[in-house]
Amino acid sequence: MAKIRVIVAGFKGRMGKTTCETILAHNKTFELVGGYDPHGATDKDLGTQIEVSAAQHLPAFTEIEETVTAKPDVWVDFTTPDAVYGNTKFCLQHQIMPVIGTTGLTNDQITELQALAKKQQVGGLIVPNFALSAVLMMKFAQEAAQYFPDVEIIELHHDHKKDAPSGTALRTAELIAQNRRPKRQGAPDEKETLPGVRGGDYQGMRIHSVRLPGLIAHQQVQFGSVGEGLTIRQDSYDRASFMTGVVLAIEKVHELNDLKVGLENVL
């Protein structure tokens, strides 16, 4: 069986580098064929830029059009919110299966990309969170929402994260909304004396974003009812926690014939 050829976009970032190392470690099934970063060095190979000797002599592309020369099967994207839409569209147009770990795509953009994937008959995954514990957290929260409609989401990430709320928090809210009885929480005459202190409003439920150094990725979904409460919490203490999901997505994405949202689609 031929190895799955993988290119990593955003290889200079912490998630990108960890992904490169993981693909190299799974060299019986995967082949790392290069990396893409428009801000990379044009005169240095991939291994030199991420300081991984096993990736020496592999190409590090700065022009997206050049990535097709590596003939990748799968494109793993850990770039930036302003770049991910264009990257994903490029993949679908060139029959490269995207595995998108970058958050920031709007619902309209996702709908457009899904239509393109269907037209091109290319499978792909948009993954808000690769940690299996996070997938379970979202699933459990979705189930609980039909019994506890009063809920708030608190997500905590490192202080270099550019988007708020996180993709995981938004995806959790979307899943909860599917089972939750519509209602607006809090006192009817509630007033914020400090604007924004109650967090973002998603269909009547609140989302709070915390950004602090020392954190990686954490989320707490807190339900309340008369005389009782339920808290579902997930913690990622190391970026290695995401790699099980990354490996699974790369292995399984070829089984899809459209663009799906959520790792649960290949579990």
Q: What is the pLDDT of residues 181-210, one digit of tens each?
A: 888 788 888 899 999 999 999 999 999 999
pLDDT of residue 188: 86
β-bridge partners, 234: 219
Q: List, in sequence order, every beta strand (DSSP E) within the chain.
A: 4-9, 30-36, 60-61, 74-77, 97-100, 124-126, 151-157, 200-202, 205-211, 217-225, 228-236, 259-261
Residue 185's pLDDT is 81
pLDDT beneath 70: ranges in the chain: none
| Confidence (pLDDT) at 84 | 96
Closest CA relative to residue 253, chosen from 87, 100, 33: 100
| pLDDT tens digit sequence for 138-180 | 999 999 999 999 999 999 999 999 889 998 999 999 999 999 9
In DSSP terms, 76 is beta-bridged to: 8, 99
Residue 25 is inside which H or E element, if any?
helix 14-25
Please provide the CATH number assigned to the domain covering 132-236: 3.30.360.10
Instruction: Supply the pLDDT for residue 152.
Output: 97
Q: Which CATH superfamily is domain 4-126+240-266 in?
A: NAD(P)-binding Rossmann-like Domain (3.40.50.720)
DSSP state of 146: T
- Read off the pTM: 0.83
Whether the Cβ atoms of residue 169 and residue 232 lie closer than 8 Å to each other: no
pLDDT at 177: 96
Task: Cite the active site residues.
Answer: 157, 161
- At 1 the pLDDT is 74
Domain ranges of the chain: 4-126+240-266, 132-236
pLDDT of residue 119: 96
